[in-house]
Amino acid sequence: MATFAGRAQWGGLFDQFFTYFGTLDVASLIDGAGASSTITVPGVKLGDIVIGRSMEVSTAGMTVTADVTAADTVIVRFQNESAGTVDLASTNLRLLVGRPSGTYFR
């Protein structure tokens, strides 16, 4: 996990960035079912924005969202909308979270 200054990279839109890298294994989900994983990302707080997430498996037919829900906590939600059962393989998860700049986000 890393924290770094962000003014130059994003034109001042974000003051700070937080990254996460770890392994995630989501349970098999039938059509219409969902599951959430709680990820600890030290330093994030409410109001921070999950800018991006990536995994090394296809999530076709699934909706995947990620939100900061508390200090040091990101919830990643998986919702199966594929009309069949989906069992994602264990995979690496990467998250990028940004702390909005008070200059642009008021």
- 3-state helix, strand, coil split of the chain in percent (to 5) is 0, 55, 45
Report how far residue 13's alpha carbon sits from residue 28's, in angstroms, rounded to the nearest whole number.
38
pLDDT for 40-82, tens place per residue?
999 999 999 999 999 999 998 999 999 999 999 999 999 999 9
pTM metric for this prediction: 0.87
Q: Give me the residue spans of the domains in the chain.
A: 24-93
